Chains A and B, each alone.
Chain A
Amino acid sequence: MKVSGHLVGPQPRSEELMRAYRDYTKGRLAKQVLDGLIKKEAEENVKIQLKNEFAVIIDGMLNWHDLLRPFTERLSGVEVDGLSRWFDSNTFYKQPVIVGRVERTIPILENMVFYDLVTPERLKIIVPDPYTFSKLSINKSYRRFEDLVYDVSEAIAEEISTLPAAHVQLTAPSLVYEKLPKAEIELAMNGVEIIRRRYRGILSIHTCFGRVGNVMPELLDFTVDMIGVDMTVTPFKDLKDYDFTKILGLGCIDARNTILETPDEIASFVMKVLSETSVKQVYVSPSSGLEFLPNTIANAKIRNIGSALKLLKEV
């Protein structure tokens, strides 16, 4: 059975890298030294994914302070505000403030991704979905929220169209964190459609921090190739009611708990999904980025996914 493994968000920095960031912030460490450590750790992140036979590879996003930050800092019309809570976690992001027309006037991910570590065919770039980015912003400029979403979509689409990566993931917690009215889901769908028109690679959308049940019918209509679901908050029965035409990302590895899912448990769950639902193809992933865990535990979870993939191969 062919099942692949994916990471779906930032990897945790090691303790050494965290301390290096603190030292750099306090002026006790040179930028060059910090950059060297980041690169070294990105290489280790790539290595562990390759070793565990993940189908697509991310570089770990170690130099992203939060998922929105490169866009918050580099999009025209956006300024960086204070801290805001990242959904229901004890982590925070710097909130974008929309102060003018949102446009991509400079490359956003330049120097943010280690393109040399992974071949373009296997490289996955993770960015915020336009609706989520807009929803998490303070809008001081647009009269209509939908116009903001469309401009953010255009800007992200333009950035993605320049990237040498065969896989792009739109991370979309705002689609599932709270129950959305239909019109909002349609708006999010239109934003993704704008990206789809500009990007020819494999496009996925990953939902996390909320139960997917309420939006699953609409999600299946999004013009993406894969849909990722946070199974730590979604009951299994939510997957049973629909006719799946897309590849399903099974976010069944809890990215916010230290309990290690065993390879047997992971493999059994995949088998259950494939036998009891209409899903035809899946990939296994953590429920979100593993950034909420200490680095050593995150790596143990990756190894267990790898072992589960081996078990499934034998089926």
Chain B
Amino acid sequence: MIEKLFPTQEIGSLSKAPFLRRKLSEEHIRISRDWAIRIGVENFEELIAQLKPGIQSDDKLKSLEDWASLYGIRFHESAGLDVVYDGEQRRVEMYEYPLLHVKGFRFVGYVKVWDAEIFKKAVILDKPSLIKPYHVEEFEFAKSKARRELKVPITGPYTLADWSFDEYYTKRKLNIEDPIERRRINKRDMVLDLAKEVIRPNLEALIRAGAKRIQIDEPAVTTKPNEVDIFVEGFNKAVKGLDCIFSVHICYSDYRLLFPYVLDLKVEHISIECANRDTKVLGRDESSRPGYSVLRLFKEYGAEMKVAPGVIDVHTDFIESPELVRDRLLYAAKLLDEPSKIIASNDCGLRTRTWEVAYEKEKALVVGAELARKEFG
């Protein structure tokens, strides 16, 4: 990471580039041109010349993915972030996309997450194995274009396991009467197999391709409080001995449940969501900054890792002022009692926001971090 206080980074997904849509209008083409100019996409005229109003075929959309990736990279770079990626422009989402590249799973249908939100869920029927590393081509393109440091996001083994139905491991005959203990053993074996057979080969392939920094996304880790240690074991198994800087991103979770297990995690930093639980008023005290109280735990437990608390809420169009970002960072630094261990981040990916809102938020992150830096001369 850049050697300065409060370096800035994005977290993952961005909504799709304005031209990466089935039904394209003149307006979308105009917006695509405007964004290219605004964020500095080189040779964008070549793209604009290819775009025609109407329905775009699957092949056409596929052929536009490099452009979308380039837009994503320039979006983050021009906002001023220190560490960037392409906003996951090529990916469907963080669960279905990886499992399309893994043997042993079968998609069985949609289930509800909340209200009208659903996801396509898979069942594991056999020991998992990787068909082909699934982020390498995407990374190689990003590497060829990026002007800033890159961080590749990848879904972690615990989340892939927890979001799937398990038939393969559950059907084994284990001579254990306690169903909770039986479920824990099955889950552990599933997570460790995914870590070894799926995630690790992906990480190795990315590192061979030149990745220096990888973020493992694990939003599910506190879902089952008695399995947090399994997440840590799986994570460490996946990264053991690999020459790369690893971080973990965990959002919308009860972070208290991570302790003490998280202390054993082999990571440079942990990225967590805080802005969503915070107030919007300026201030560097407990009443103004309730969203950051979890950082006390990192201090109390003597955690060695850096922390990337979210200072940008990705679930609202409210644009944080740079001063609010500054106060959040400074309060987080105060709780951790070590400013050099704070990284300025979003709560999560900005996928649910428009590019306009997301861009303003990223710029506020950058300017806010700069203001925080100034407080230290």
A residues lining the B interface (CB < 8 Å): 12-13, 15, 18, 21-22, 24-25, 65-66, 83, 85, 88-94, 211, 231-237, 256-259, 291-297
| A-side contacts of B121, CB under 8 Å | 294
| B-side contacts of A257, CB under 8 Å | 165-167, 170
Interface size class of B (residues with CB under 8 A): 20 to 34
Q: How far is the CA of A15 from the CA of B119 in the complex (A)?
A: 10
- Please tell me if the beta carbons of B223 and A233 are within 8 angstroms of each other in the complex: no
Minimum C-beta distance from A302 to chain B (A):
16
Q: How far is the CA of A287 from the CA of B268 in the complex (A)?
A: 41
- B118 on interface, CB distance cutoff 8 Å: yes
Q: How far is the CA of A147 from the CA of B166 in the complex (A)?
A: 42
User: In residues 165-220 of chain B, which contact A (Cβ within 8 Å)?
Assistant: 165-167, 170-171, 177-180, 183, 220
- Please tell me if the beta carbons of A85 and B223 are within 8 angstroms of each other in the complex: yes
B residues lining the A interface (CB < 8 Å): 108-116, 118, 121, 123, 162-163, 165-167, 170-171, 177-180, 183, 220, 223-225, 252, 254
- Please tell me if the beta carbons of A88 and B224 are within 8 angstroms of each other in the complex: yes
Q: How far is the CA of A152 from the CA of B115 in the complex (A)?
A: 24
| Number of A-B contacts defined by CB within 8 Å | 78
| B-side contacts of A292, CB under 8 Å | 111
Minimum C-beta distance from A104 to chain B (A):
24
Name the residue on A nearest B315 (C-beta). A82
Given A13-B112, A235-B178, A291-B112, does the pair A88, B123 have CB atoms closer than 8 Å?
no
Minimum C-beta distance from B228 to chain A (A):
12
Given A25-B116, A258-B165, does the pair A293, B170 have CB atoms closer than 8 Å?
no
Contact partner of A66 (CB less than 8 A), chosen from B114, B171, B179, is B114
Minimum C-beta distance from A20 to chain B (A):
9
| A-side contacts of B171, CB under 8 Å | 259
| A-side contacts of B225, CB under 8 Å | 88
Name the residue on A nearest B222 (C-beta). A85
Q: How far is the CA of A267 from the CA of B165 in the complex (A)?
A: 24
| B-side contacts of A231, CB under 8 Å | 179
Q: How far is the CA of A257 from the CA of B170 in the complex (A)?
A: 9
Minimum C-beta distance from A267 to chain B (A):
20
Sample of 14 more A-B contacts, CB < 8 Å, known A85-B254, A259-B167, A294-B109: A18-B110, A18-B112, A18-B118, A21-B115, A25-B116, A65-B115, A89-B223, A90-B223, A91-B112, A92-B113, A94-B114, A258-B167, A294-B121, A295-B109
Q: How far is the CA of A297 from the CA of B118 in the complex (A)?
A: 16
- Please tell me if the beta carbons of A296 and B109 are within 8 angstroms of each other in the complex: yes
